[in-house]
Structure 1
């Protein structure tokens, strides 16, 4: 069963990544430049709210299956997968029905998957002609790697220092529900003061998060950490997307956002490897989480060179 499960997971990741590429590219179509920070933030905010609600329901289905008419926790997990599929399908319908997308100037073309890597290299060369966007992507690759590492490794880190799974689930829910209003606030902040300032704030907060996590010992401290992460996680994601949309030509938005998402996915590899390696060699998981601060500092080094287009 494991090979089949791995295959399903791979298909899901490909579908999710591909959908995000086109979804992000639609930002240029549905929002004028002066509204993109707010619209991008609204998208992430609603995503955190919806994801938090569904995650809470799925947790309850697993912990209290009899309340949902289910036999046991295993059946709760199975129905959780079904509920996610239904949820995604229902909330995708308005996008398919009501968002109009203009056809490319060249019209419809057949997709040749054999040329995928060639096209990726061509896109990289094309983006390099836009110095501001290229430097931004380099900075983004570094600091979003730090963000993704904290997201992906937080549960493992919490378990390694002795926190229970119940405490960690509560912390994850805190991130989701605090992320909803916080993302909206950062959308307004980006609209008023520029995305660059908002991202600066978020990155510095994440530096503080890694330092705080190094000293963390109790569940209460974990909740505080989760609340702080919730305050900035949606903000840094939303403002990064909207800022990039204003650094690229609109006629290349789908192509460039495809590369933007490739950069984001590639970034998800280095951070966890670095954190795990340092934790293993030192025998101290706290040093592993502290090392993530290096990614944020490196990201800020390049990010300071990016000119904000407001």
Structure 2
């Protein structure tokens, strides 16, 4: 079958990135990881679940309570509210993130777009200062705003990656960004751990709830403050489409361009196939990240301090894991390295199913295993996808990519929530996630990466 001949895309010549610019890019991971780690991974699930149980008539500190709430008249088990909320946020981002990506490709002020998304999201996170008592709906609304803005900001941030290095450099750049992010998220989490340890009172669950709330607020402060560095050090690198925009409305131009991309994306079936594989296995990864604390607190009955120490351990092990898998990718290729990491994730899920309740040490050991595979699987997936994007459409394609990245997956949390509602067992919900890793591995293994990169008009790296 004859290949389709596509017109060449002429992008403006980009000057090589400087160390200062790359450091600025790394620091956005440092800034935004606080939201991912402190809010999504550790505090928000148990915090909102507790508020939801209070609204359902449960007593604060009760070991078990099968209460229900009725947001918008819909009957929801209190333990399922947060997983459903994560799923809802993703359904909304399906419509928002590709548009944000298209606008990023059409604007000459991409840094400004990054700043707006960040500061609105950080402001919503700061709003948790007012989420008290039984205000679980206010907390849910603020989370939706913050999580959608978080996704939008990451789309813009990721779109800088292909412009910061060539095909053989991006795995390293992406891995260093993830590694720096784990340090930043880990440092804020360590500070919150100190606060929880110093100010919590035995037999006072209200104090624990208040400490969780202010820890969430601290992530908003961190996210906003450290974003000032990338906004100062990154350079604007407009695409040819942005330079030729002629001063039109960038939003309407973005919508029109998104429509053209959706109509033309079928010309890159291998890119779509990779994206499908990523959406499946990353759904599993993000569900584990988002619901790990809820699983630890509700099923394993672990203390909040144990959960924080474990996630802190994950952060610092993941720093080394991201760099180690990045080094492995230089030897055997990023594609093979990601496949190996998915084998590791499968082992983690099986081990987590058999964890004993009220046993902190096995939970912490498993957290260390997660750290080894977490950073590399995400960083290398990001750099692999950068090889499959047609020139000048980085923002749009990362908009599609981000729909299932960093806590915005929806099938996994929805599946987990439904299984829990049917079985009242978090363990059964967790083991059901194996399907995402097994199917994701099979799909990724079937992608002919070198041919896919060439088909997108790019030069493959030396090792895949």
Which TM bucket (shorter chain)? 0.7 to 0.9
Larger radius of gyration: 2
Normalised by the length of structure 2, the TM-score is 0.60
Q: Does residue 138 in structure 1 map to residue 279 in structure 2?
A: no
Q: Does residue 147 in structure 1 map to residue 282 in structure 2?
A: no
Bigger helix share: 1
Identify which of 121, 145, 160 aligns with 2:299.
Answer: 160
| Unmatched 5+ stretches in structure 2 | 1-130, 201-206, 451-463
Three-state SS of the structure 1 residue aligned to 2:409 is: helix
Identify which of 288, 304, 308 aligns with 2:445.
Answer: 304
Q: Which residue of 1 aligns with 2:151?
A: 17
Q: Which residue of 2 aligns with 1:290?
A: 431
Q: Which residue of 2 aligns with 1:173?
A: 312
Cα distance in 2, alignment partners of residues 193 and 39 from structure 1: 17
Q: 1:114 to 1:100 in 2, by over 3 A?
A: closer
Contact 1:124/1:259 (8 A) holds in 2: no
Cα distance in 2, alignment partners of residues 237 and 73 from structure 1: 32
Three-state SS of the structure 1 residue aligned to 2:168 is: helix
Moved more, 160-169 or 140-149: 160-169
Cα distance in 2, alignment partners of residues 224 and 266 from structure 1: 23
Deviations 1:92-132 (A, max 9, x none): 2332222223223233542437975x765643443332122
Identify which of 305, 313, 323 aligns with 1:184.
Answer: 323
Q: Using the TM superposition, give the Cα deviation of residue 80 of structure 1 relative to its aligned residue in structure 2, in angstroms.
A: 3.9
Q: Using the TM superposition, give the Cα deviation of residue 77 of structure 1 relative to its aligned residue in structure 2, in angstroms.
A: 5.3
| Unmatched 5+ stretches in structure 1 | 67-71
Deviations 1:22-57 (A, max 9, x none): 111110111221110011010011101110001110
Q: Using the TM superposition, give the Cα deviation of residue 65 of structure 1 relative to its aligned residue in structure 2, in angstroms.
A: 4.2
Q: Using the TM superposition, give the Cα deviation of residue 5 of structure 1 relative to its aligned residue in structure 2, in angstroms.
A: 3.9
Q: Using the TM superposition, give the Cα deviation of residue 259 of structure 1 relative to its aligned residue in structure 2, in angstroms.
A: 1.3
Deviations 1:210-250 (A, max 9, x none): 11111111322111110010101111110100000011123
Cα distance in 1, alignment partners of residues 332 and 395 from structure 2: 27
Moved more, 185-194 or 195-204: 185-194
Cα distance in 1, alignment partners of residues 424 and 149 from structure 2: 37
Q: Using the TM superposition, give the Cα deviation of residue 195 of structure 1 relative to its aligned residue in structure 2, in angstroms.
A: 1.0
Identify which of 78, 84, 90 aligns with 2:219.
Answer: 84
Moved more, 143-152 or 277-286: 277-286
Contact 1:123/1:259 (8 A) holds in 2: no
Q: 1:236 to 1:127 in 2, by over 3 A?
A: farther
Cα distance in 1, alignment partners of residues 275 and 220 from structure 2: 32
Normalised by the length of structure 1, the TM-score is 0.88
Aligned positions, number: 304
Cα distance in 2, alignment partners of residues 288 and 184 from structure 1: 32
Deviations 1:59-81 (A, max 9, x none): 32233249xxxxx7677556545
Deviations 1:259-305 (A, max 9, x none): 11124379621112212323443443322211111111111121112
Three-state SS of the structure 1 residue aligned to 2:405 is: helix
Q: Which residue of 1 aligns with 2:166?
A: 32
Q: Which residue of 2 aligns with 1:93?
A: 228
Three-state SS of the structure 1 residue aligned to 2:249 is: coil
